[in-house]
Homo-oligomer: A and B are copies of this chain.
Amino acid sequence: MMKERGCCASICQCFFEYSTPKILVIRSFKVGTVNRITQALVIAYVIGYVCVVNKGYQETDAVLSSVTTKVKGIALTNTSDLGLQIWDVADYVIPPQEESTFFVLTNLLITLNQTQSHCPEVPKTGFDCTSDRDCKAGSRDTRGNGVQTGKCVKYSAAEKTCEVLAWCPLELDKEPPNPPMLADAENFTVLIKNSIRYPKFNFNKRNILPYVNKTYLEQCVFNRITDPDCPIFRLKDMVTEANEDFQTMAVHGGVMGVQIRWECDLDMPSSWCVPRYTFRRLDNKDPVNNVAPGYNFRFAKYYKNGNNEETRTLIKGFGIRFDVMVFGQAGKFNIVPTLLNLGAGLALLGLVTVVCDWIVLTCMTKKNIYNEQKYSYVDDFQLLSNETP
């Protein structure tokens, strides 16, 4: 009975215990100063960097985004092939809709009235010939435009090349026009509609801000100083902000990044959460290593002529692809990351003790006194300890 009560009591005793390390307090100008300075550094780092700069007390969420774009503008071209020609949005945006990117045609090489027939290959190494023996029937070179028939025919008065089965007449392998044909494209405008969502915080917003009304939207154009909230951008302005020249870029085409950054501190009023637009050229225009510059692709319009034969107009289109990239994260106070960062900060405070202990026990004149006070010893080495002086 007495024993049972003792056992119970000792469990109780154990439960109501609190263990705290015994501390040696050293009162010293030098050590104290080093200690406080190190502590101050760590605390300043934890508070300043982790809490203020990185907002470690906030839970964060990545942005979900939906982008639609709408280009407007008219271009006029005047060529010997086509005469005066008007280009509107249905003509120069290819394909007509994409998820968060749009392509604007700025320059082109056009080959009219192609049909499936026979014609001499464009003169190039490997396609020149003097007789049929130089041409191999059925050969299809990736650099060529068709399948060789095996005949050697006149390309011009001076030159003979292998005949091919292809879409004839062949496209001439020449440089794109300079200045670009759709030079007017610099004045095209694009309306970018962007809705974002931070799912964790159930927060929705869009880049057409609440105060923007229909009247303003019908006549505004983005300008970093006067109209920073207008979601309508002039193509030339975007290219200029990326330190590029529109007319130069338009000749060979290229890829532009339209970056929309939504950095939102949701502990602040939600009206402070606004998009920031930046523009950057994404493809490389390194003049030293200028291999395969710009951006172009080929597409065709197919027709049938009176004899029900298929003909096509082949267009090698050069232009600027604008990739809309939406970035950003939102933060809101949450106890979990706060505790985590507090814990990490405390762990770093442990470094202070390591640094100061090392100074106290090795560098100070009174290090022996401190050693004596800080450490107690239990020695198991009977033999060894007898030998130590």
Contact A381 B339 (CB under 8 A): no
Q: Is A52 an interface residue (CB 8 A)?
A: no
C-beta contact mask, A183-209 vs B, less than 8 Å → 1, else 0? 010011101010101000000101010
Scan residues 300-359 of chain A and give those whose CB is less than 8 A from a CB of chain B.
Answer: 300-306, 308, 311-312, 314, 317, 321, 323, 325, 336, 339-340, 342-344, 346-348, 350-351, 353-354, 356-357
One of A17-25, A127-135, A242-250, A264-272 contacting the partner:
A17-25
A255 to B29, CA, bound (A): 69
A159 at the interface (CB under 8 A from B): no
Stretch at the interface among A81-89, A150-158, A172-180: A81-89
Q: How far is the CB of A9 from chain B (nearest CB, A)?
A: 5
Write the nearest CB–CB distance from A316 to chain B, whole angstroms: 9
Would you call B45 and A339 a contact (CB within 8 A)?
A: yes
Q: Which residues of B contact A312 (CB under 8 A)?
A: 90
Residue of B204, B257, B348, B374 touching A66 (CB-CB under 8 A): B257
Q: Are A377 and B22 in contact (CB under 8 A)?
A: no
Chain A 102-123 residues near chain B, CB threshold 8 A: 103, 116
Quick check: is A251 within 8 A (CB to CB) of the other chain? no
1/0 contact string of A1-36 vs chain B (CB within 8 Å): 000011001101101111111111111110111111
CB distance from A384 to the nearest CB of B (A): 5
Confirm or deny: A44 has a beta carbon within 8 angstroms of a beta carbon on chain B: no
Q: Separation in Å of the A125 CB from the closest CB of chain B? A: 10
Residues of B contacting A76 with CB < 8 Å? Answer: 140, 147, 165
Task: Determine if A28 and B213 form an interchain contact, defined as CB atoms under 8 angstroms apart.
Answer: no
Which one of A89, A99, A321, A378 has the greatest number of beta carbons of chain B within 10 Å? A378
User: B88–A9 contact, CB under 8 A?
Assistant: no
Contacts of A223 in B (CB 8 A): none
A interface, by DSSP: helix, strand, loop or mixed?
A: mixed
Query: Across the interface, do A348 and B343 meet the contact criterion of CB distance under 8 Å?
Result: yes
List the B side residues contacting A63 at CB < 8 Å.
Answer: none
Bound form: Cα–Cα A316–B302 in Å? 17
A97 close to B374 (CB less than 8 A)? no
Question: Are B166 and A9 within 8 A (Cβ)?
Answer: no
CA A72 to CA B235, docked complex, whole Å: 30
Instruction: State which residues 259-314 of A face B: CB under 8 Å.
Output: 282-284, 286, 289, 291-292, 295-306, 308, 311-312, 314
- Interface pair A376/B16, CB less than 8 Å apart: no
Write the chain B residue with the least CB distance to A45. Answer: B339
- How far is it, in angstroms, between the C-alpha of A378 and the C-alpha of B312 when the chains are bound? 97
Name the residue of chain B whose CB is nearest to the CB of A90: B300
* A69 nearest CB neighbor, chain B only: B297
Using known A-B contacts A208-B292, A283-B68, A292-B217, determine if residue A24 contacts B25 with beta carbons closer than 8 Å.
no
Q: Is the CB of A19 within 8 A of B24?
A: yes
A57 within 8 A of B: no
Query: Which residues on B sit within 8 Å (CB–CB) of A73?
Result: 140, 142
A189 to B141, CA, bound (A): 11
Chain B's nearest CB lies how many Å from the CB of A46?
10
List chain B residues, Cβ under 8 A from A289. 208, 210, 212-213
Told that A23-B375, A68-B255, A347-B350 touch, could you supply 17 new A-B pairs with CB distance under 8 A?
A6-B388, A17-B25, A18-B35, A18-B360, A22-B374, A29-B381, A68-B321, A74-B142, A86-B147, A89-B297, A90-B298, A99-B100, A195-B284, A217-B292, A305-B308, A343-B344, A369-B378
Among all A-B residue pairs, the 9 with the closest Cβ atoms: A16-B32, A66-B282, A96-B299, A90-B300, A28-B380, A18-B35, A343-B347, A95-B95, A303-B304
